[in-house]
Structure 1
């Protein structure tokens, strides 16, 4: 038995829903506090992570305003001997080396896996260097980009490690992409993934994003003052931290830093909304500039231009505004002027591969009954599609219990045995 599974069997013997003892029953607390803390004993504090920056065959030239982002970045945590490899997919906008990704790296390394970590297609480094369209949001196309990147990464590392089997694990948007990658691989057969584990996936990307947009639901004439102040506070808190592990301003770094604070429920909702809004702002700004859309930014951006002014210039734009103001006009030019919003949104749903997901025993899904990004129809889809390959925990918010000991044990058991335990 691998190292971590041995630890779990010592601490956990008889499990059921009745004694699922995850401590945070408030979904907002879970989302912030749970997802930013490793709630497992005995995990290695350091792993042999190697960072890479590669030029992908389809990458276009990077303008001087994005000089800091040249090269597609990923990481490898290698075992010393032949082992299975987990491709680890980040959540919405997060980077390959974010705090949560590092927790997963340590868990999987201890469990005997090589780990390759890949940023979200909505992360700025991915948009600039990895996206074939540089306009993310069509999840099938984004997943094809990830798949092609996986192939390039595998070429790069194949002489450094020996791989017995390939696995995919993703959380949040990365979980949704994991299911689609499995679908793509069924025809391309590049990896023949042995198992795929989806943690808190979005079912309808657009609707899930709107839920998080609405956590900061201020009138447009009040947005700059109220959201601007919140974003400034978040950025100041991250920048003022001198701790070396905080290398980027992303959702996970924000949660980690603010989890030390005592917050009211309203403050927690604003923090969740503010963290997601930073991703939306980034998405609006970068796609506008890099594709020369001139929706927000009409003059050239200099190498050392202060960024907060552009946050204000795009009025702290939402994900909904990204879709309607930037992505939809772009895809109308590419796919036809009569393309409607509903048609674009339809392309960002798991339902498009429902038949495949229903019949693929290699895929398992876990989520939470108090999930922030799902509605009743999403839960019904997951239940009817995955059946006994779906496990719904009673608490956890959005990704808040990923690093709780029970959840990690069940994840590792599925990857090893192909069976999803329901005895929690």
Structure 2
């Protein structure tokens, strides 16, 4: 039945908008091959970019072994003349200069925008320097932190650029956060955002995280030994590919390493799940350390402390572990025990601002019918909430088609003209 419904939806899309020619019909292949690939001709190879490393107000010195996160990092891509400014929000666990962020920066620069790029609230640099609770995942609280960062970063660069209007664009978790900061700005009006573009947003970040964890667990049974073998394969590939130097093993690193391999759906599913699991492992460790929770880190950690025992103790912890072992105990204590886990999980969803999202015409969203992080209830929420401010493309997986020329054209037409429609 689901296949029939999917086929009908694709047929309706084709009839309404014309044939959609995105090349990857497999959602796993689209996610791995497309999500970091520019499929738009004529985009500048390099754009004027300035990187900032700053001490934010009220930020504290990080623990010794997180010394490299001593300052908050962000970037500015700037026009020479007066122009609109886009705040670009990174996907889950990604930083301001991830490959996907850089591709967006190049596209937006050529389209005539300034761009301030902001790291994900689930990245260690953001958690250490900009997170109020040091325990991300509650989207309104995270949104407040991002909004503060927006104000601070703009204040730092405002004397160097002339801005006509303010916009927000985010993908994945950044797409979710885009809606939240727009909601917050309606009251404070520090920017009075003109338009907001959400790319492949999560509706409920907890349920989306569980779906991604299942991509790994489906084939490994969440067995640490099997996951360990998979990670060893990735590390081995990194070692054989790099010619000296250091690289951070991220989602994009993993996808890049295996993009030329012949992979089965099982292989691709595991890689996508593993990429997210590495984010969860880091999240478990960093939040435990910063909040002195004692779940994994039970002894003082120095700059040169052997970290293997701590990572071994984390034992490939996933996002559910994070919520159950760290976030819930933290917030339960903060609220004096007057909160259940189910109540906490309601803070991870866009449904908190449903009324606002239904009534504002400045926010639009795009996603894909084969999106890996959404379930049927999520699609219903998006359709009922955004109505004609939502485009669901038939293919693309998770963020796999966001740099495809037809998607880019839709995005830029909305940002520049306020017109939101797909034309083939």
Shorter-chain TM-score bucket reads: over 0.9
Count the aligned residue pairs: 411
Deviations 1:209-231 (A, max 9, x none): 00001112179996221111212
What SS does the aligned partner of 1:19 have?
coil
Structure 2 distance, partners of 1:324, 1:124, is 20
Corresponding position of 1:8: none
Structure 1 distance, partners of 2:64, 2:240, is 27
Contact 1:98/1:253 (CA < 8 Å) preserved in 2? no
Structure 1 distance, partners of 2:48, 2:98, is 16
1:17/1:107 CA distance change after superposition, 3 Å: same
Corresponding position of 2:3: none
Structure 2 distance, partners of 1:245, 1:404, is 32
Structure 1 distance, partners of 2:136, 2:228, is 25
Residue 306 of structure 1 deviates from its aligned partner by 4.5
What SS does the aligned partner of 2:167 have?
strand
Contact 1:77/1:109 (CA < 8 Å) preserved in 2? yes
Contact 1:169/1:196 (CA < 8 Å) preserved in 2? yes
Corresponding position of 1:111: 111
Contact 1:99/1:253 (CA < 8 Å) preserved in 2? no
Question: Does 2:61 correspond to 1:66?
Answer: no
Corresponding position of 1:182: 182
Corresponding position of 2:311: 311
Contact 1:83/1:165 (CA < 8 Å) preserved in 2? yes
What SS does the aligned partner of 2:249 have?
coil
Contact 2:27/2:396 (CA < 8 Å) preserved in 1? yes
Corresponding position of 1:173: 173
Structure 1 distance, partners of 2:360, 2:218, is 43
Structure 1 distance, partners of 2:214, 2:100, is 24
Structure 2 distance, partners of 1:59, 1:273, is 33
Residue 42 of structure 1 deviates from its aligned partner by 0.5
Which residues in structure 2 correspond to 1:24-423 (within 5 Å)? 24-217=24-217, 223-238=223-238, 240-242=240-242, 247-423=247-423
1:372/1:16 CA distance change after superposition, 3 Å: same
1:263/1:300 CA distance change after superposition, 3 Å: same
Q: List gaps (5 residues or longer) in structure 1.
A: 1-13
Task: Give the aligned CA root-mean-square deviation in angstroms.
Answer: 2.0
Structure 2 distance, partners of 1:243, 1:350, is 44
Structure 2 distance, partners of 1:414, 1:384, is 21
Residue 299 of structure 1 deviates from its aligned partner by 1.4
Contact 1:37/1:256 (CA < 8 Å) preserved in 2? no
Contact 1:56/1:129 (CA < 8 Å) preserved in 2? yes
Structure 2 distance, partners of 1:126, 1:236, is 29
Structure 2 distance, partners of 1:17, 1:254, is 34
What SS does the aligned partner of 1:73 have?
strand
1:53/1:27 CA distance change after superposition, 3 Å: same
What SS does the aligned partner of 1:201 have?
coil
Corresponding position of 1:5: none
Contact 1:228/1:312 (CA < 8 Å) preserved in 2? no
Contact 1:85/1:164 (CA < 8 Å) preserved in 2? yes
Structure 2 distance, partners of 1:91, 1:246, is 23
Structure 2 distance, partners of 1:362, 1:93, is 26
Residue 235 of structure 1 deviates from its aligned partner by 3.5
Q: List gaps (5 residues or longer) in structure 2.
A: 1-13
1:72/1:371 CA distance change after superposition, 3 Å: same
Mean Cα deviation higher: 20-29 or 304-313: 304-313
Structure 1 distance, partners of 2:273, 2:262, is 17
TM-score if structure 1 supplies the norm length?
0.93
Deviations 1:141-179 (A, max 9, x none): 001000001101011001111111110000000000000
What SS does the aligned partner of 2:85 have?
strand
Deviations 1:74-127 (A, max 9, x none): 011111111111100000001111010010010001111011100100001001
Structure 2 distance, partners of 1:289, 1:240, is 32
What SS does the aligned partner of 2:112 have?
coil
Contact 1:223/1:315 (CA < 8 Å) preserved in 2? no
What SS does the aligned partner of 2:115 have?
strand
1:60/1:96 CA distance change after superposition, 3 Å: same
What SS does the aligned partner of 2:103 have?
helix
Residue 233 of structure 1 deviates from its aligned partner by 2.5
Contact 1:58/1:132 (CA < 8 Å) preserved in 2? no
Residue 236 of structure 1 deviates from its aligned partner by 3.9
